[in-house]
Amino acid sequence: MSTVLTPAKEKSKTRKAVVDPDWCAGCGDFGVLKSLKSATTDNGVKPHELLLVSGIGCSSNLPGFFYSYAVHSLHGRALPVATGAKLANHNMKVVITGGDGDGYGIGVGHFIHAMRRNLDLTYIVMDNEIYGLTTGQASPTTAEGHKTKTTPRGNVEKPINPLALALTAGATFVARGFSAQPAQLTSLIEQAMAHKGFALIDVFSPCVTYNKLNTYSWFKERVYKLEDEEPDRDLTDFSAAMTKAMEFDSRIPIGLIYRIEKPTYEDTEPVLLKGPLVDQSLGIKKELFDQLLAVTM
Amino acid sequence: MENHGKNSGTAPEKAKEITVGFGGAAGDGLDKSGNTLATVINRLGLYAISYNSYQSLIRGGHTFLRLRISQRKEKCFGDHLNVLLAMNQDSIERHAPEVNPGGVVIFNSDKISCDPSLLQENVHAIALPFKEVTEGIGKLMPIMQNTMALGALLYLANLAFETLHEVLADIFKHKGEEVIEQNVKVAQGGFDYAEQHFESAKISIPWDFTRIAKPFFSGNAAMAMGAVAGGLKFYSAYPMSPASNILHWLVANSEKCSVLVKQAEDEIAVVNLAIGAGHAGVRSMCATSGGGFALMTEAIGEAAMLETPVVIINVQRGGPSTGLPTKTEQGDLNQAMGASQGDFPRVIMAPKSVTDCYHMAGEALNIAEQFQLPVIILSDLLLGENYETIAPDSWSHDVEIKRGELIREVPEIMENNGGFKRYKFTPSGVSPRPVIGSEGMVYVAASDDHDEDGVLISDVFTNPAIRRKINEKRMRKMDGVVKELEPPKLEGPEDSEVTLISWGSTWGVIQEALEQLQDEGITANQLNFKYLFPLHVKEALEILDKCKTTIVVEVNASGQFARHLRAETGFSCTDTILKYDGEPFEPRLITNRVMGILNKEPLDLRVTEKEAREIGYHYIRVHLRDKLRPAQIVHVTKNGYGEPVWVLKLVDRENGEAKGQLTVGMDTGSTYKWDPLN
């Protein structure tokens, strides 16, 4: 294989990585990658100032196709890795990308706890309502009745509602995008990255190979843009946000559902008042050492 | 370092020492009394080492804290009991018979009594009438019986009362003069009463009080503080006994020490948080016990694959499963060795003492960063939760910090048209690693296997040649690690009849067993392994090939280290001495079994009389509402149970009236039958 890289300068502009995406033609994740590139180049975040963290799944391969620092971690563990990295260097912009299986299935515990901490993280979930990389098993967001490889008689489990879950868990920015609406998605990513606190963007990102139910046309028939239909919504109204989050039928809202300002975890951690951990000095001074021994004497 | 034992050919001088046991129920204030006494000891310039057997074998919720006080630094809590401070009747019943001749049993005679038949020869019952002793001091909390007992103990053990006065003044400083005075008066009352009534029971040890105060630490606190001195910046944990004290120490000192401490939702999050922080470029560590470690295992391989430094401490407790949360074991070596799928470089080390915990934390952080891999420390409950006096100058604030190839600036020579090769194939296997956020060195760290640039070779571009070379690159680090770590050394006379082989925390108790063996006329030495993986195969074999009888001593049921040693070196040891009942080794147990092995006595796993008593107490507690106690215990061979049995005669705890008998199998330990009288 060729390992000749594009010169660094060039990549800074395009965010194009050494390898091209290996997603199926027509995969919704292309749209998310494109919007992420636009959002980061538009708002002037330099490649070395951004850390992308993902888990495992088709969508979790995204960092390999993007030019920035990145960790492609374990299945379901992107959020704790991202949290550790953010706390170690809170000057970095940290964006997590992954899928519904990774985030709402195996990683759902971390999902809830990351939100209640209100760390300054942006979490983009490419939600295709199916397990794609493992060839079409039911996922936590697979619709009731949907026949998949593992639900041949139709799914009997109720799907997770990620937006409602995020609201109750304490996320301070909750949005939904659609990969076929790139301008809105780019704007949502920009706003999420600018938001101080935990931002979730659940993105409908159709799997053209394994999900023949939730297709582009299925979504197009249902989605409507909140900013168009309800331009004067109060984004800080929790109950109104909850109502929008629960709207998942013949009509499905996309756009920003909820946003409030709250101190971030980093703001309230006294050790970080002295600056990012990576820049702090190491070790212990003699005076403190003696003091720590003396309290036991 | 710990260098107080003499292992020359001559018999070591017996130190001036005394072991005090505090027996009572949870809530009786044993820990506080033990701490007060330990502080007195440390300020007098003596040494203390403790072992707290909580959730005692014998009766639910009961605790037995042993504090060994010595002129020299002892390496284990020993196998003596000279003074018993009994807070309740149970403690008398259980522990008074263990007090050695010449010793004393101290108790509040208003509340409890001591049946003289329980005592060994020349053991004195020190009955202190609380009301009489404290008359005129005012209204007192019942817990102040402990303070009275401490006062009496100070007289009987020939310790300096004025130091107790100072310690009490410090402890109760925040409560004001009145409380201090009251406590001192109660202690003085106990001291004076003992002097007036029990002069003949005084244990006149000619202590040499240097009055150089020394620190008193548990292994967990030592590990936490050592890590801070070694540059720790990030610590994550989920509460789990017996590792939680590391978390507590670091939380309490987080701001002072500038260490970010994060409690997480589970151990999977814990280890991934630590990996995230380590990856970003700070020194990070996490700790747990066996069950939590099991949850962490997938991420240990992840750290190796990302080449991210991280230190994971497993403070071992009794397994498997939830096992024995409050009891010690060295049962997780196999787990640490086998944690996570695939082959990858990992380092496993085990501290040999509380003092060593401090040094090992910093060392582990260094190795993790120098070689960009996960380091596992196997501590255990015995080291982690028990306290000992730290010898002066054992530790320094000035710990060497080696960060290896951590970089912030772009290396002068870049490859591939200005691209940065994070996983460059180097002779050492270690490649320069940027602090995340550094300009010009952007890369993807992937848990899928990858090439030098970080591009995946797992999917679209699979490549057997690159896979082979990156696998070798990672594994090459182990050659560097083994050179960096100090090889094991024999302690004691080289041409001994017996070599006791150990890892981690059994070092101390074995050092004492060596002295006992010498007294028995058997020359013995010890080979302790602090670094378990990679193992110093060459150096170990050079030593082992010259040894005569080799015995591995470890606290688990299957001899995990004996097998590991055999797997790594091909060396099969003569025998093993194993303990897996939750309690740590005492030196005499090792000494006796070594003599047994030398005499070719087969291992006898039958229930001993002492164990039959414990099984009896368990039955009494669970089924007979604690109302009885075992009296006589007899051995019966012909019984119809298909094995020899112990028959325990149970009597009423209050009046000694016979109540029935309990039959316990000697081989199986099964409780066959309870035959009540009437």
Nearest-CA distance B364 → chain A (Å): 14
Residue with tokens 């999420």: A192
Question: Cβ separation of B273 and A87 shorter than 8 Å?
Answer: yes
Question: Cβ separation of A285 and B397 shorter than 8 Å?
Answer: yes
CB B618 within 8 A of CB B607: no
What are the Cα distances from residue A263, in Å, to A166, A270, B130? 17, 13, 56
Question: Cβ separation of B461 and A19 shorter than 8 Å?
Answer: yes
Mean pLDDT of chain B: 94
What are the Cα distances from residue B286, in Å, to A50, A261, B56, B361, B672? 26, 32, 29, 11, 46
Range A246-257 burial, b when 16+ CB lie within 10 A, else e: eebeeebbbbbb
> Which chain A positions have a beta carbon within 8 Å of B43's beta carbon?
297
Nearest-CA distance A36 → chain B (Å): 16
Q: Which residue of A has its CA nearest to B259?
A: A271
Q: What is the Cα Rg of chain B in Å?
A: 28
Nearest-CA distance B439 → chain A (Å): 5
- Using CB atoms within 10 A of its CB, is residue B2 exposed (0-12), middle (13-18) or buried (19+)? middle
Nearest-CA distance B658 → chain A (Å): 50
- Residue B674: its H or E element: strand B671-676
> Which chain B positions have a beta carbon within 8 Å of A83's beta carbon?
262, 269, 273, 276
Question: Cβ separation of B436 and A69 shorter than 8 Å?
Answer: yes
Q: Which residue of B has its CA nearest to A55?
A: B447
Question: Cβ separation of A74 and B298 shorter than 8 Å?
Answer: yes
The answer, for B418 touching chain A at a CB cutoff of 8 Å, is yes
The answer, for B238 touching chain A at a CB cutoff of 8 Å, is no
Within a 10 A sphere around the Cβ of B525, how many other Cβ atoms? 22
The answer, for B618 touching chain A at a CB cutoff of 8 Å, is no
> CA nearest B460: which of B473, B472, B470, B449?
B449
Q: Which of B259, B272, B396 to mutate to test the interface with A (most CBs of A within 10 A)?
A: B272
CB A192 within 8 A of CB A282: no
Tell me how far the alpha carbon of residue A146 is from its chain's centroid. 25
> CA nearest B271: which of B231, B304, B224, B248?
B304
- At residue A104, φ and ψ (nearest 5 deg) are -100, -10
CA angle A294, B43, B220 (to 5 degrees): 50
Q: Model confidence over B143-173: pLDDT tens digits? A: 999 999 999 999 999 999 999 999 999 999 9
User: Residues of B numbered 420-439 whose beta carbons fall under 8 angstroms of chain A's beta carbons: which are they?
Assistant: 435-439
Question: Cβ separation of A77 and B268 shorter than 8 Å?
Answer: yes
The answer, for B463 touching chain A at a CB cutoff of 8 Å, is yes
Nearest-CA distance A184 → chain B (Å): 28
Q: Is the pLDDT of residue B135 over 60?
A: yes
Question: Cβ separation of A71 and B444 shorter than 8 Å?
Answer: yes
Q: Which residue of A has its CA nearest to B227?
A: A283
CB B77 within 8 A of CB B387: no
Pairing of strands B524-529, B444-446: unpaired
Pairing of strands A50-54, A93-99: parallel
Nearest-CA distance A291 → chain B (Å): 11
Q: What is the mean predicted confidence (pLDDT) over B549-577? A: 98
> CA nearest A162: which of A124, A136, A133, A196?
A124
Q: Is the pLDDT of residue B133 over 90?
A: yes
Q: Model confidence over B656-670: pLDDT tens digits? A: 899 999 999 999 999
Q: Which of A6, A56, A284, A286 to mutate to test the interface with B (most CBs of B within 10 A)?
A: A284
Give, as one character, the DSSP assignment of residue B648: E
Within a 10 A sphere around the Cβ of B641, how many other Cβ atoms? 17
What are the Cα distances from residue A148, in Å, to A92, A136, A209, A210, B322? 40, 6, 12, 8, 38
Confidence of residue B653 (pLDDT cuts 50, 70, 90): confident
Q: Model confidence over B518-535: pLDDT tens digits? A: 999 999 999 999 999 999
3-class SS of residue B237: strand
> CA nearest B246: which of B338, B312, B202?
B312
In angstroms, the CA B181 to CA B187 distance is 10
Proportion of chain B above pLDDT 70, given as a percent: 96
Most confident of A140-154, B417-431, B609-623: A140-154
User: Residues of B numbered 388-417 whose beta carbons fall under 8 angstroms of chain A's beta carbons: which are they?
Assistant: 390, 395-399, 401, 416-417
> Which chain B positions have a beta carbon within 8 Å of A17's beta carbon?
444
Tell me how far the alpha carbon of residue A70 is from its chain's centroid. 14
CB B22 within 8 A of CB B35: no
What pLDDT was estimated at residue A1? 34
CB B532 within 8 A of CB B561: yes
SS3 sequence of B417-471: CCECCCCCCCCCCCCCEECCCCCCCCCEEECCCECCCCCECCCCCCCHHHHHHHH
> Which chain A positions have a beta carbon within 8 Å of B215's beta carbon?
293-294, 296-297
Asked if the bond preceding B320 is cis, omega within 30° of 0, the reply is yes
What pLDDT was estimated at residue B414? 64
CB B88 within 8 A of CB B29: no
| Token digits of residue B51 | 């072992």
Nearest-CA distance B277 → chain A (Å): 4
The answer, for B251 touching chain A at a CB cutoff of 8 Å, is no
Q: What is the mean predicted confidence (pLDDT) over B409-416? A: 74
In angstroms, the CA A198 to CA A265 distance is 10
CB B207 within 8 A of CB B16: yes
What pLDDT was estimated at residue A2? 36
In angstroms, the CA B211 to CA A188 distance is 68
Q: Is the pLDDT of residue A28 over 80?
A: yes
SS3 sequence of A270-281: HHHHHCCHHHCC
> Which chain B positions have a beta carbon within 8 Å of A16's beta carbon?
none
| Token digits of residue B209 | 């009080």
Query: Which of A19, A48, A288 is the closest to B256 by Cβ?
Result: A288
* Number of CB pairs, chain A paired with chain B, less than 8 A apart: 238
Give, as one character, the DSSP assignment of residue B92: H
Confidence of residue A9 (pLDDT cuts 50, 70, 90): low
Q: Model confidence over B603-650: pLDDT tens digits? A: 999 999 999 999 999 999 899 998 999 999 999 998 899 999 999 999
What pLDDT was estimated at residue B57? 52
Nearest-CA distance A62 → chain B (Å): 11
Asked if the bond preceding A21 is cis, omega within 30° of 0, the reply is no
Q: What is the mean predicted confidence (pLDDT) over A234-246? A: 98
In angstroms, the CA B338 to CA A184 distance is 48
In angstroms, the CA A263 to CA B136 distance is 58
Confidence of residue B12 (pLDDT cuts 50, 70, 90): very low
| Token digits of residue B582 | 């939750």
Which CATH number, 3.10.20.600, 3.40.50.970, 3.40.50.1100, 3.30.1490.100, labels domain A8-294?
3.40.50.970
Q: Model confidence over A193-238: pLDDT tens digits? A: 999 999 999 999 999 999 999 999 999 999 999 999 999 999 999 9
Question: Cβ separation of B397 and A288 shorter than 8 Å?
Answer: yes
Q: What is the mean predicted confidence (pLDDT) over B61-79? A: 93
Q: Is the pLDDT of residue A5 over 80?
A: no
Q: Which of B44, B173, B279, B423 to mutate to test the interface with A (most CBs of A within 10 A)?
A: B279
In angstroms, the CA A170 to CA A193 distance is 17
What pLDDT was estimated at residue B375? 99
Q: Please report, for chain A, how many H helices and E strands are present, in that order.
A: 12, 8
DSSP states of B275-343: HHHHHHTS-EEEEE-HHHHHHHHHHHHHHHHHT--EEEEEEE-B-STT-BTTS-----HHHHHH-SSS-
- Residue B652: its H or E element: strand B645-652
Give, as one character, the DSSP assignment of residue A161: -
Q: Which residue of B has its CA nearest to A49?
A: B437
Q: What is the mean predicted confidence (pLDDT) over B455-464? A: 90
Q: Which of A282, A288, A291, A295 to mutate to test the interface with B (most CBs of B within 10 A)?
A: A282
3-class SS of residue B544: helix
Question: Cβ separation of A74 and B214 shorter than 8 Å?
Answer: no
> Which chain A positions have a beta carbon within 8 Å of B448's beta carbon?
72
Residue with tokens 């970003």: B280
Query: Which of B418, B444, B447 is the closest to A8 by Cβ?
Result: B418
3-class SS of residue B20: strand
- Residue A25: its H or E element: none
| Token digits of residue B212 | 């150089």
Query: B671 has which bridge partners?
Result: B664
Pairing of strands B524-529, B490-491: antiparallel
> Which chain B positions have a beta carbon within 8 Å of A85's beta carbon?
276-277, 279-280, 436
Measured over the CA atoms of residue A226, residue A227, residue A231 and residue A237, the dihedral's sign is positive
CB A56 within 8 A of CB B447: yes
Q: Which of B263, B308, B397 to mutate to test the interface with A (most CBs of A within 10 A)?
A: B397
Query: Which of B281, B298, B447 is the closest to A278 by Cβ?
Result: B281
| Token digits of residue B557 | 């049921």
CB B271 within 8 A of CB B232: no
In angstroms, the CA B165 to CA A89 distance is 50
| Token digits of residue B102 | 């010449």
| Token digits of residue B615 | 């099984």
In angstroms, the CA A73 to CA B305 distance is 10
Nearest-CA distance B179 → chain A (Å): 21
DSSP states of A177-200: EETT-HHHHHHHHHHHHHSSS-EE
- At residue B49, φ and ψ (nearest 5 deg) are -140, 135
Within a 10 A sphere around the Cβ of B609, how many other Cβ atoms? 13
In angstroms, the CA A54 to CA A72 distance is 5
Q: Which residue of B has its CA nearest to A63?
A: B444
Query: Which of A4, A17, A297 is the closest to B416 by Cβ?
Result: A4
- Using CB atoms within 10 A of its CB, is residue B199 exposed (0-12), middle (13-18) or buried (19+)? exposed
> Which chain A positions have a beta carbon within 8 Å of B275's beta carbon?
73, 81, 84
In angstroms, the CA B157 to CA B21 distance is 13
Nearest-CA distance A49 → chain B (Å): 5
Question: Cβ separation of B438 and A48 shorter than 8 Å?
Answer: yes
Close Cβ partners of A183 (under 8 Å, ≥ 6 residues apart): none
Confidence of residue B61 (pLDDT cuts 50, 70, 90): low
Q: Which of A69, A115, A135 to mutate to test the interface with B (most CBs of B within 10 A)?
A: A69
In angstroms, the CA B252 to CA B257 distance is 10
